[in-house]
């Protein structure tokens, strides 16, 4: 026969308080990164902890600094395109387009409608690719492994499409100043359409797996809140800003590339927590598919590069090999670079990670005098010292995952 | 001329219009910068500081300047503000970190890259390069190929006795095949303006 013995626990709270007096309560410094799975790249965090609670956070960046701005000052405008691949290397096509438009603004050059539509498709496919990864690793950080696999299956299909279009899966370098490297291959639009058809059910499935997932919701809701005021003061852009409840999308506010001709909605969050940032991204996936479908439907015929810009865009190979004038034009642009007037511009594009900005100061000629890159991830990480204190150590993983940053663009 | 530039010029006598290929732009002297930014934020509604960057104007004097990009989050308009650091030897402009927290990291970057000090910044340390790095790489007199410096791991090597060897930097960022060529400048036209070749080592390089 089992016997039960009653034990008295006494006043637990009082005992705890007594212990707290006894223990010195030393703060511990914990180093996270620079090479750590939760930091998604080479981000290092110096955390000061009181038990499990974060008292202070000091991000250390620069491990991926390559001096892109210095390099840009020493080469022609077109030569810098491959370097833009390596900014946000999860959405290289979007960087290519943003850079090309920035330089074209300097030259006051308008590219033909077909080129704009191709670029819109590029940007939106890049956004789908980046958000798929962002949501995938975010889910993984919160313990939902399956999502990651689902997302990567779709990204694989996207990479095949990118390869067909640009010749490279990852480092696309697709745009040129005044156009793109080449027109789309035959039947490519049909395959993009097929992808759009295939990806929506997967997004729905991800939605079903995560959005009402109790563990996921409990880990993300109310965690890592960025208020509207903070988001603006810290200059946060993109999905992170929209999650904080600010209506800001450069595709609507300062349309470029003909975005004003497309019908799409901009999802806005209400609380600015990790959960809202997830919701905004998953809806943006659907909106991006919507834009791609419209672009395919309305794809204009005509030239895919600015034909009149004789000093900016090097003509396609076929023409170079058969016509003297085009040969000279090609030679001049390759050796001297696309000729830009003196002036300065600042152009921002709504990239997957936020607003990617290029400040270009030109003194004329084929090389910029100063080219500054504003990476949205740099700004997103700048709020960490303000946001992390007060959270638990385990929240760091979720918060970093929800911010969706990439160090290539942060460190440049 | 843009109306906002007109308005600003009428309100602040020190504001001067600045040529720009896109957004409205003004020049503001460094002495008035903080006051101007405060009014810009509180009275004119430019609630966001998107970006700032230091520029080395090379032969010009004043040599160093800072370009700010402000954004009106409600009207969705940009405003560019440029200022110059009066002292060439020890360039400094007032910090905007207290007004716009976004300026904190951007100013650290401008200090790190161009060497402009921001007076009143709470923690003006290097951000992309390591603390103790002796140069400002985005200055125009800094060579593209870099300058060899001691690796920052002196404390680590002292503790571990591990030998730290610098990565072979020969050829710099634009190294091309040198079969039959004696100087890399022969192989890579863009490197022609470099101050060093294989025959003449780059600044700071040993042997």
Confidence at A163, pLDDT banded by 50, 70, 90: very high
Over range A118-129, report the average pLDDT: 93
Token pair, residue A148, equals 């990651």
Q: What's residue A97's pLDDT?
A: 93
Asked if B206 has any chain A CB less than 8 Å from its own CB, the reply is: no
For chain A, positions 211-250, list CB contacts with chain B under 8 A: 230, 232-235, 237, 246, 248
Which residues of chain B make contact with A345, given a CB cutoff of 8 A? 20-22
Q: What's residue B189's pLDDT?
A: 44
Q: What's residue B113's pLDDT?
A: 92
Each residue of A232-249: pLDDT tens digit?
999 999 999 999 989 889
Sorted by where each begins, the domain ranges of chain A are 68-311+340-411
Over range A147-165, report the average pLDDT: 91
Closest listed residue to residue A368, CA positions, set A348, A345, A347: A345
Q: What's residue A94's pLDDT?
A: 92
Does the pLDDT of residue A289 top 90, yes or no? yes
Does the pLDDT of residue A309 top 90, yes or no? no
Q: What's residue A8's pLDDT?
A: 78
Which domains, and CATH codes, for chain B?
Answer: 3-119 (3.30.460.80), 144-207 (no CATH)
Q: What's residue A124's pLDDT?
A: 93
For chain A, positions 167-206, list CB contacts with chain B under 8 A: none
Quote the minimal CA–CA distance from A400 to chain B in Å.
Answer: 18
Closest listed residue to residue A269, CA positions, set A287, A243, A246, A293: A243
Token pair, residue A405, equals 């940053």
Each residue of A187-211: pLDDT tens digit?
999 999 999 999 999 999 988 888 8
Q: What's residue A357's pLDDT?
A: 92
Q: What's residue B82's pLDDT?
A: 92
What residues in chain B have per-residue pLDDT under 50? 168-178, 184, 187, 189-193, 207
When CB atoms are compared, the residue of B22, B49, B144 closest to A346 is B22
Answer yes or no: do A232 and B47 touch at CB < 8 A: yes
Does the pLDDT of residue A311 top 90, yes or no? no
Closest listed residue to residue A38, CA positions, set A376, A398, A408: A398
Each residue of A365-395: pLDDT tens digit?
888 999 999 999 999 999 999 999 888 888 8
Over range A291-315, report the average pLDDT: 86
What's the rounded Cα separation, in Å, for the pair B22 and B19? Answer: 9
Which residues of chain B make contact with A355, given a CB cutoff of 8 A? 50
Asked if B147 has any chain A CB less than 8 Å from its own CB, the reply is: no
Residue pair A392/A376 in contact by the 8 Å Cβ criterion: no
Angle between helix A113-141 and A188-210 (nearest 10): 30
Q: What's residue A346's pLDDT?
A: 93
Q: How many CA atoms lie within 13 A of B139 on its CB side?
A: 17
Q: What's residue A71's pLDDT?
A: 86
- Please give the CATH architecture assigned to the domain spanning A68-311+340-411: Orthogonal Bundle (1.10)
The chain A residue lying nearest B41, using CA atoms, is A233
Answer yes or no: do A345 and B102 touch at CB < 8 A: no
């Amino acid at each position: 026969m089992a016997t039960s013995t009653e034990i008295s626990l006494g006043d637990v709270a009082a005992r705890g308080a007594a212990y707290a007096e006894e223990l010195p309560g030393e703060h511990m410094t914990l180093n996270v990164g620079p090479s750590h799975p939760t930091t998604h790249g080479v981000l290092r965090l110096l955390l000061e902890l009181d038990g499990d609670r974060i008292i202070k956070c000091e991000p250390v960046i620069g491990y991926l600094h390559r001096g892109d701005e210095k390099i840009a000052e020493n080469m022609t405008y077109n030569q810098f395109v491959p370097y833009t691949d390596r900014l946000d290397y999860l959405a290289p096509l979007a960087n290519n387009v943003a850079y090309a438009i920035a330089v074209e603004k300097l030259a006051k050059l308008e590219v033909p409608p077909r080129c704009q539509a191709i670029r819109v498709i590029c940007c939106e496919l890049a956004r789908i690719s980046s958000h798929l990864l962002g949501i995938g690793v975010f889910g993984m950080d919160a313990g939902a492994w399956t999502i990651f696999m689902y997302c990567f299956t779709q990204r694989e299909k996207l990479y095949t499409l990118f390869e067909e279009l640009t010749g490279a899966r990852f480092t696309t370098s697709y745009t040129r100043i005044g156009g793109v490297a080449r027109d789309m291959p035959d039947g490519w639009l049909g395959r993009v359409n097929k992808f759009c058809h295939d990806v929506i059910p997967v997004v729905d499935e991800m939605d079903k797996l995560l959005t009402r997932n109790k563990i996921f919701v409990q880990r993300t809701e109310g965690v890592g809140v960025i208020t509207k005021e903070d988001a603006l003061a810290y200059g946060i852009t993109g999905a992170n800003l929209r999650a904080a409840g600010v209506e800001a999308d450069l595709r609507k506010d300062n349309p470029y590339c003909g975005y004003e001709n497309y019908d799409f909605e901009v999802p806005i969050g209400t609380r600015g927590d990790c959960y809202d940032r997830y919701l905004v991204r998953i809806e943006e996936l659907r909106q991006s598919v919507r834009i791609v479908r419209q672009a395919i439907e309305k794809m204009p015929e005509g030239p895919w590069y600015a034909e009149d810009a004789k000093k900016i865009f090097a003509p396609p190979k076929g023409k170079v090999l058969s016509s003297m004038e085009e040969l000279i034009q090609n030679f001049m642009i390759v050796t001297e670079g696309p000729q830009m007037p003196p002036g300065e511009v600042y152009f921002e594009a709504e990239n997957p990670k936020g607003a990617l900005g290029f400040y270009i100061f030109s003194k004329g000629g084929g090389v910029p005098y100063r080219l500054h890159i504003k990476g949205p991830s740099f700004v997103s990480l700048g709020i960490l010292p303000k946001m992390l204190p007060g959270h638990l150590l385990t929240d760091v993983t979720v918060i970093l995952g929800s911010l969706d940053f990439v160090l290539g663009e942060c460190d440049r | 001329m843009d109306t906002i530039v007109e308005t600003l010029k009428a309100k602040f006598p020190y504001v001067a219009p600045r040529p720009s290929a896109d957004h409205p732009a003004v020049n503001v002297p460094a002495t008035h910068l903080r006051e101007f930014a405060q009014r810009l934020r509180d009275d004119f509604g430019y609630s966001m500081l998107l970006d700032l960057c230091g520029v080395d104007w090379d032969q010009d004097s004043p040599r160093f300047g800072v370009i700010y990009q402000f954004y009106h989050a409600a009207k969705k308009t940009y405003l560019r503000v440029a200022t110059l650091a009066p002292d060439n030897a020890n360039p400094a402009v007032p910090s905007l970190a207290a007004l716009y927290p976004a300026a904190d990291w951007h100013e650290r970057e401008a200090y790190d890259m161009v060497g402009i000090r921001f007076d009143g910044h709470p923690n003006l340390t290097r951000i992309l390069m390591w603390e103790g790095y002796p140069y400002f790489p985005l200055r125009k007199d800094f060579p593209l190929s870099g300058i060899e410096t001691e690796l920052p791991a002196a404390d680590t090597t002292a503790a571990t006795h591990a030998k730290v060897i610098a990565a072979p930097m020969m050829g710099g960022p634009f190294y091309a095949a040198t079969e039959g060529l004696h100087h890399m400048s022969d192989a890579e036209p863009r490197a022609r303006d470099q101050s060093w070749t294989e025959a003449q080592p780059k600044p700071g390089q040993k042997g």
